[in-house]
Amino acid sequence: MRAVRYHESGPPDALRLEDVPRPVPGPYELLVAVHTAGVNPVDAKYRARGHDRTPKTTGSDFAGVVEAAGDSVKEYEVGDRVFGTGFYSAGFRQGSFAEYVTVPTNMVAALPPSVSFEEGGAAGIVGTTAWLGLIERTDLGPVDACLIHGGAGGVGHVGVQLAKASGASVLATAGSPDRVSAAKEFGADDVFDYTDDVTDAVGRACPGGVDVILDPRYAENAQMDVDVAGFGADVIVIDGDGSSIDGPQARGKHLQVHMLSMTPLLVRDDLPTLSFVLRKLARLLADGTLSITVSRTYDLEDAATAHHDVMGENIVGKAAVTVR
């Protein structure tokens, strides 16, 4: 089978499309014929800094059809449509930029017939991250104001929709006029361009401060989040490296800062499983409450370009690799 792998850390052109043996599922695993794989910044970051188990097949999200099931698998059959994520969290050497993947059943869920492989293949990381932040970590509801940074991006456009579905007032930030328009289309009530004074604009729109903040770019926005947060607000941090804030100000507001990771869902019994969250997302995708916008697609041969592009600012929603 074909798979996109890297043998050492490096720039996007470290990726190679190679012929490798088709994997064999273990007792509690599925062999999935991949139709679509999502493109995520975390995969590009792993490639850039290297992986402790190489060669490594890049990619975390996927959607496809069950080709075979392990002897102990009861809930799936050959021919079932599924989607999933988590390869980066679990430290697998394999990934989703491949014609076939083997995956434990706790990392997948059934893909509803009405949901395309493209949408399902791009949903995993962004949907799970937004769900964990807004639904599992907070009590977001109709009386709340929620600020979503990067409201036109991968996690952001899902976060806008989930917050809107909860009944909250949704504010968002975006990096250009086109992305401001996109965030409004996803459901945000007010969207602020990063080139403006966002702190002042959010303050005018929500004088009492916002109740929940979802921030994929906390290293850049940390102090802004403290400034616009209301008393007791929840700040959901997706990437907090290099952040610096006014500590006394944050403590004075009794802010609750939550650092997110998908990995505990695979190893801790006191948290919802990854497949549980994926099933919730599947339900929302099926009834139209949630949609995943895929604005750019690539072939496996173009994986290096996909990795390059996903680290930029020009993709609205998600990008995906079409495998078959």
* pLDDT tens digits for range 122-141: 999 999 999 999 999 999 99
Tell me the pLDDT band of 50, cut-offs 50, 70 and 90: confident
pLDDT of residue 23: 97
Six-digit token string for 80: 């079932």
Q: Which residues, at least 6 apart from 34, have a Cβ–Cβ distance to it below 8 Å?
A: 62, 63, 64, 96, 98, 99, 100, 101, 121, 323, 324
User: Which comes out higher in pLDDT, residue 34 or 273?
Assistant: 34
pLDDT of residue 88: 78
pLDDT tens digits for 180-192?
A: 999 999 999 999 9
pLDDT tens digits for 250-263?
A: 789 999 988 887 77
pLDDT of residue 217: 84
Cis peptide bond upstream of 55, omega within 30:
yes
> What is the H or E stretch that residue 43 is in?
helix 41-49
**What CA–CA distances, in Å, run from 86 to 102, 124, 193?**
12, 8, 32
> Could you count the other beta carbons within 10 Å of the beta carbon of residue 192?
23
d(CA 87, CA 106): 12
pLDDT of residue 320: 98
User: Which comes out higher in pLDDT, residue 149 or 271?
Assistant: 149
pLDDT of residue 170: 98
d(CA 74, CA 83): 17
Tell me the pLDDT band of 42, cut-offs 50, 70 and 90: very high
d(CA 191, CA 196): 11
d(CA 237, CA 218): 6
**Percentage of residues in the chain having pLDDT higher than 70:** 96
pLDDT of residue 156: 97
pLDDT tens digits for 212-230?
A: 999 988 888 889 999 999 9
CATH topology of domain 138-259: Rossmann fold (3.40.50)
In whole numbers, what is the pLDDT of the chain averaged over residues? 93
pLDDT of residue 248: 78
pLDDT at 265 over 90: no
pLDDT at 269 over 90: no
Q: Where in the chain is the domain with CATH 3.40.50.720?
A: 138-259
pLDDT of residue 251: 85
**Right CATH number for 2-125+264-322 from 3.30.420.310, 1.10.3210.10, 3.90.180.10, 3.10.50.40?**
3.90.180.10
pTM of the model as a whole:
0.94
Q: Are 298 and 320 in contact (CB under 8 A)?
A: yes
> Could you count the other beta carbons within 10 Å of the beta carbon of residue 240?
15
**Percentage of residues in the chain having pLDDT higher than 90:** 82
pLDDT at 235 over 80: yes
pLDDT of residue 243: 62
Tell me the pLDDT band of 240, cut-offs 50, 70 and 90: low
d(CA 103, CA 272): 18
pLDDT tens digits for 103-118?
A: 999 999 999 999 999 9
Q: Where in the chain is the domain with CATH 3.90.180.10?
A: 2-125+264-322
Single-letter code of the amino acid located at 102: T
pLDDT tens digits for 294-312?
A: 999 999 999 999 999 999 8
